[in-house]
Structure 1
Amino acid sequence: MTKLSLHEKVVTKLFNTNEKLTFFDIGACEGLSSVRYLSIFSNAEIFTFEPVPKNFEKVLKNKEKHNLKTLYPFQLGLSFEIGEATFYLSSGHPPNKEKPDDNSSDFGNKSSSLYKPDKTKEIHPWLKFKETITIKTTTLDNFCETKKVTSIDFIHMDVQGAELMVLQGGKNMLKNIKSIWLEVEKISLYKDQALKKDIENFLSNRGFVCQLNKVNHIAGDQLWVRKSYLRKMDSKTKLYLSRIKMKTQIKSNLSTFYGGLLYKIKNLSK
């Protein structure tokens, strides 16, 4: 297995890698995160959500390729309501990357969203949004009730601006979720999306605390853990988490300052 990322290291501190855990991979794209988590937490079960047909086909191929019997894929988008929704498909290829073959990860397929693109096209000019599709949506609450999922240990969420929509669809389930890794944005990469402060207010008011903050002047990832679960950690783990939290916050502040300064200079020069 390749080297663990920082958030993966933290998750291994939160949970025993041999434990029977329940993970959700929301906005899974090709399912590569699900594959990776199951390589770390071999006894976990992962519910994997990806609404885009071509991406979902890759999820199924990866499940078969790695013989992942406890990966449960669903061609669904999670939102705050049950029904159907317009989905904005991304495509394109960054100029500094080799074009993928049939067996490798794509790049342009990772930015599709329930929201129309906004400044994401400014940040990544190579990204294209030429097509929309209609997808089926459900809520976190409805899915868990239907599938009799009573608790979730960890959620990996990558839904391109629709994070708050997913969380709002799980108001009843949130009290039974231990940790959430998600991307947040400081600027509107997608029109009318919730921003960093909106996500932070929502989760803070519902008993979660941010343990990792890797957000720069534009966007980044955060790891949120339920306070009541953190209190159960032993003193050594608490000290480790406290140090990691402080380090990532300092890096985030520096990245925000210098990145924001360069962003302003770039816009002034236009």
Structure 2
Amino acid sequence: MQAVLDVGANDGSWGLNIAQQNPHIKVYGFEPTPRMCEIIRGKVSELSIANYELIPVAVSDYEGVVKFNVAGQADWGCSSLLTFSDDLDQTWPGRTDFKVTETIDVQCITLEKFVKERGISDIEFLHTDVQGVDLKVMASLGDSIQMVKRGMLETASSKSVALYKGQHTIEDVVMFLLRNGFEIERMTPNDVHCNEVNVLYKKIWA
């Protein structure tokens, strides 16, 4: 089965748009934040999208119940399994939404187990926006990473401006992608300070 995976779905906008445009492909949206899950369910019902499924869990390279830091401000897009870095007022001036408003317990899964359970044979696109653990999400595929044809992830430009403690950087991303048979198509700044970059990549076919 072909599938698109949207890990860190937030309010579902990206994945639902893909599902609407590609009714023949199953789209899975992974999102652990209860408030965002409510919003996604409402949109799915309103739009009557049959090929989209919400998976209300976190994703990383391990399984179990974990602490999840909810940043319930602005678009709620900064919630993470990681904790915020120090001195963000200096590296991210003007941003007041980098605050944890609640810490909750959530279920965490790996993608390797998920794709096997769902019988997924091809991942047409892997979209990850999981606030600092994108590479762990990719690594959680294990050998199934070979299923990924294209994808996009978010990364810190450098450790000195990383939004989260322990977050991967562009150097880590480049090495990981090359080691796993991908090439980078494009890198685009994700903020006015160029502290984060969106990386579009694709599989190198032999």
TM-score, normalised on structure 2? 0.89
Question: What letter is aligned with 1:215?
Answer: P
* Structure-1 separation of matches of 2:84 and 2:72: 12
The residue matched to 1:57 in structure 2 has which SS? helix
Shift of residue 227, structure 1, vs aligned partner: 0.7
Give the match for residue 57 of structure 2.
76
| Residues 186-212 of structure 1, C-alpha deviations (whole Å, 9 max, x = no match) | 132101111111111111111000001
Report the count of equivalent residues.
Answer: 196
* Structure-2 separation of matches of 1:38 and 1:176: 19
Mapped contact 1:120–1:189 kept (Cα < 8 A): no
Give the match for residue 3 of structure 1.
none
Give the match for residue 178 of structure 1.
149
**Greater helix proportion:** 1
Alignment of 1:177-256 (within 5 A): 177-186=148-157, 187-215=161-189, 217-228=194-205
Give the match for residue 112 of structure 1.
79
Match of 2:9 among 28, 34, 51: 28
**Greater strand proportion:** 2
Mapped contact 2:7–2:128 kept (Cα < 8 A): yes
Counterparts in 2 of 1:126 and 1:140: CA distance versus 1, 3 Å: closer
* Structure-2 separation of matches of 1:73 and 1:61: 11
RMSD after superposition: 1.7
Shift of residue 141, structure 1, vs aligned partner: 0.3
TM-score, normalised on structure 1? 0.69
Give the match for residue 26 of structure 2.
45
Identical residues among aligned pairs (%): 23
The residue matched to 1:202 in structure 2 has which SS? helix
Counterparts in 2 of 1:226 and 1:219: CA distance versus 1, 3 Å: same
Match status 1:167 vs 2:138: yes
CA radius of gyration, larger in: 1
Question: What letter is aligned with 2:126?
Answer: I
Q: Which has the higher contact order (CA 8 A, sep 6+)?
A: 2
Mapped contact 1:47–1:71 kept (Cα < 8 A): yes
Shift of residue 120, structure 1, vs aligned partner: 8.5
